[in-house]
Amino acid sequence: MKLIVFLIILIIERLHCRSANDFLKDVFSIEDDLKEQKCSTMQCQTAEYLLKSMNRSVDPCEDFYEFTCGLWVRDHQVKATKVSWYQYKEAEKSITNNLKEILEDNNPDKILDPAQKFYKSCLNSVSNGMNIEYLKSIISLFGGWPIGKNDYSEKLQSLDWIKMYIYMEKNWKVSTILDTGISINYLNTSQYILMIGQPDLMLPRSMFMNPDRYKTQINAYTKLIAGTVLLLYKEFGSTFTRSRHFGDEIANEIINFEMQLAKIQSTGEMKKSEKILRNRIITIDELQKYLNNVSDTFQVDWLKMFRLLFKGTDVLLKKTEKIFVKEENYLKELVRLLEKTPKRILINYMSWCFLRSMLSDIKEDLKNLVQDFNVVFTGDVKEVSRWVDCVSITSSYFAFNVGYKYVTKYFDESAKDMATEMVNNIQEAYMERLKNIVWMDSITRQSAIDKLQSMHKFIAYPDWFHDTSYSHNKLKIMNMTDSYLMNLEILQNESNLKKLSKLNSFHDHTEWTTDIVSVNGYNDIYSNAIVLPAGMLQLPFYHKSRIQALNYGMVGLVVGHEIMHAFDDSGRMYDKHGNRRQWWTQETMETFSIKAECFVQQYNNYSLTVLGNQVKINGQMTQNENIADIGGLSHAYMAYKKYVSKHGAENRLPGLEDLSAEQLFFIGFASIWCESTTEQTLLNDLLTDVHSPGKIRVLGTLSNSNEFSKAFRCPIGSPMNPSKKCQIW
């Protein structure tokens, strides 16, 4: 009894010193304890990240994309400032913020100084009146813009469209009616060679070819041009009287001309089916004679044009100079088109090409026009912050300056060593499979092994970053002005002259040319090299402390994918030195083509609903990328198994104990393709991108994977484990 009284007294005493909040804390104490004890290890963070992305109510054997990405897509709907969002964008966002910090650092730095000045001029481009004045001085050289039907000026009559083209190509790298410069000689990749081909268009070619089907996009393009005319023709000093339909008239002329360009261009499929015929190396003199036969009244002096392009270098071109003609038929049809096109329309079109590349950089009302166009074309309803664009542009022009500082400040050196081990493991997996592949004959198999063994590997950043004396010679140190447009011209001209000066010089296959902070992997077909920049070796793709199954499923897939390109329908045409040479026997080529056709037909059967219509995947256009996904994943998985055999089995993730490391490998692969995009952007991608959309990359790849079906025990005949599979590797 005394004990009970004592306890009652003790409780009363404690009640006097406790508030209502104290009782609430007691009620929720279990949840609070859990929060306090929340696991913060990399494995716990990884599990939490995956759980927030996965829709575990879905059967992985029914729809693995929804299983892996269902919640991610639900929670990452495209925002007003984005036309698409996926895992690559997450990594790019992190790097962009890092680069912003680097470029806005106020501490004096000789390496960063020119990049920082350029970045600042970019930020202030719209508000700086110097830029519109600089633009006006350039347009005046072209006779003003636009030139109307009834406008007559001695300036127009005296204009030389070739000089105008060369100026835009050399000083601005603006795509107009041709693409000229130098490229690596595909027959001897230790050399550079002259190059000529067809240009890019403003809209996808298929839209110009089917204007009735894509009327909405064509109308938006018309409004962009007409609006630009109305805003600028007075700004450019025009004294001619204009009708209220003047902008539409000019827009229609420009679009009609661009439609004609689209009609004579080669498509990706045409290039693939006629590679040998359409990719030729001839002399300038041979090119001149060939194109002179097209017309008696309209002829181009091609030697003169190329000499103008190389003015400012030490290169003296002769008519015997070899030139790589990418699309021979395009050149022939272009001569015919130019012959019947009034000079006024050609000049207007080329001036428009120049203007459209910088509309967002010079005036606020022009930026608004571009935004209105983007709403229709990409679904982007709000402009991104200017600094984001400026960071991207600056890092592209000062790639090594900015990349050097990024690696120094943010990159974990140990990641390079671990990534190198991963790449070596994947290369060994390819070697093992090549030695046992049955559809290649022995001659082709040995050549493939030689090519794999000779492959260069560029991982994270160039080794010369550690050599201070050498690195400073590689970095870009030059004076920048307050005018953004002037800086652009200085940088582009300097870059083009430097590149053009390499003609006939030695091409170093070991030279690193890729952006260090790029979030992507590459296959350099001319150097027989794969590139894995530092930008790829970060979350969500990679972290040295997390389960390696995810690293191999993500970054390992990228590495395997790029190696696979060395042995696909394009890579098979280039040998271990990167030279274009048919090293496959006819029998092996025929077998490969039959196997590849299976993928074409499989992906042709996939379709997505876009803007109310069913749009099919182009299995032919995406063939190489689809095969690279499947082959790359299979070899990355083999490499992961090698890692496990060397380092031991990995523990399961907390909260995901029901999933094995092997299953997490495939979840890692699928998660990098979790994607949210506007339907307008998706349509554009379906028409132009050689890659399949993220969802199709997951479903198509894994439905062909025996390793995946085994890991998830998918019944034969289920959507993710069809009885018929397409396989090459």
Asked which of 75-84, 307-316, 502-511, 626-635 is least confident by mean pLDDT, the reply is 75-84
Q: Are 554 and 482 in contact (CB under 8 A)?
A: no
Asked if residue 337 is part of any domain, the answer here is: yes
Residue that finishes a domain, picked among 347, 362, 377: 362
Task: For CA atoms 654, 656, 657, 662, give the dihedral sign.
Answer: negative
> What single letter denotes the amino acid at residue 548?
Q
Chain-centre distance of CA 293, in angstroms? 39
| Full domain range(s) for residue 270 | 130-362
Asked if residue 153 is part of any domain, the answer here is: yes
Pick 455 or 678 by higher pLDDT: 455
Residue that finishes a domain, picked among 362, 380, 409: 362
* Residue 581, pLDDT score: 86
* Residue 240, pLDDT score: 66
The Cα–Cα gap between 362 and 332 comes to 37
Asked if residue 369 is part of any domain, the answer here is: no
Give me the number of domains the chain comprises.
2
* Residue 10, pLDDT score: 41
Q: Are residues 662 and 572 in the same domain?
A: yes
- What's the Rg (C-alpha) of the chain? 29
Q: Are residues 440 and 348 in the same domain?
A: no
Burial class (CB in 10 A: 0-12, 13-18, 19+), 403: buried
Pick 158 or 229 by higher pLDDT: 229
Token pair, residue 684, equals 């554009």
* Residue 509, pLDDT score: 87
Q: Are residues 549 and 659 in the same domain?
A: yes
Q: Which residue, among 388, 409, 390, 387, has the nearest Cα to 398 in the 3D structure?
A: 390
Q: Are 552 and 665 in contact (CB under 8 A)?
A: yes
**3 state SS of 358:** coil
**3 state SS of 524:** strand
Q: What are phi and psi of 697, to 5 degrees?
A: -60, -35
* Residue 20, pLDDT score: 34
Q: Are residues 330 and 434 in the same domain?
A: no
Token pair, residue 73, equals 């897509």
* Residue 14, pLDDT score: 42
Q: Are residues 356 and 445 in the same domain?
A: no
Residue that finishes a domain, picked among 338, 362, 386: 362
Pick 333 or 377 by higher pLDDT: 333
Q: What is the CATH number of the domain that holds 625?
A: 3.40.390.10
Q: Are residues 447 and 339 in the same domain?
A: no
Q: What is the CATH number of the domain that holds 242?
A: 1.10.1380.10
- What residues have CB less than 8 Å from 87, skipping those under 6 apart? 540, 541, 671, 672, 673, 674
- As a whole number, the mean pLDDT across the chain is 88
- What residues have CB less than 8 Å from 348, skipping those under 6 apart? 145, 146, 147, 250, 253, 254
Binned at pLDDT 50, 70 and 90, residue 427 comes out as: very high
* Residue 273, pLDDT score: 44
Residue 715 to residues 613, 630, 720: CA-CA distances in angstroms? Answer: 33, 20, 9
Place of tokens 């304890």: 33
Asked if residue 408 is part of any domain, the answer here is: no
Q: Are residues 349 and 442 in the same domain?
A: no
Q: Are residues 261 and 137 in the same domain?
A: yes
Asked if residue 387 is part of any domain, the answer here is: no
pLDDT tens, position by position, 336-384:
999 999 999 999 999 999 999 999 998 889 988 998 998 888 776 666 7
Asked if residue 564 is part of any domain, the answer here is: yes
| Mean pLDDT value across residues 490-497 | 95
Asked if residue 246 is part of any domain, the answer here is: yes
Q: In the predicted model, is pLDDT for residue 664 greater than 60?
A: yes
Asked if residue 176 is part of any domain, the answer here is: yes
Q: Are residues 433 and 319 in the same domain?
A: no
Q: In the predicted model, is pLDDT for residue 169 greater than 70?
A: yes
Q: Are residues 163 and 257 in the same domain?
A: yes
Q: Are residues 307 and 202 in the same domain?
A: yes
Q: Are 607 and 692 in contact (CB under 8 A)?
A: no
Q: Are residues 319 and 433 in the same domain?
A: no
Token pair, residue 725, equals 């599979």
Dihedral angle over CA of 576, 581, 587, 591, nearest 10: 70
* Residue 513, pLDDT score: 81
| Mean pLDDT value across residues 550-576 | 93
Place of tokens 């909405």: 216
Residue 232 to residues 167, 304, 676: CA-CA distances in angstroms? Answer: 21, 33, 37
Q: Which residue, among 571, 204, 126, 177, has the nearest Cα to 346 in the 3D structure?
A: 177
| Mean pLDDT value across residues 87-112 | 91
pLDDT tens, position by position, 190-220:
999 999 999 999 999 999 999 999 999 999 9
* Residue 378, pLDDT score: 79
pLDDT tens, position by position, 383-414:
678 999 999 999 999 999 999 999 999 999 88
Asked which of 243-247, 468-472, 564-568 is least confident by mean pLDDT, the reply is 468-472
Residue 493 to residues 124, 302, 341, 615: CA-CA distances in angstroms? Answer: 22, 21, 30, 42
pLDDT tens, position by position, 254-310:
999 999 999 999 876 544 444 554 458 999 999 999 999 999 889 999 999 999 999
| Mean pLDDT value across residues 230-257 | 86
| Mean pLDDT value across residues 579-608 | 92
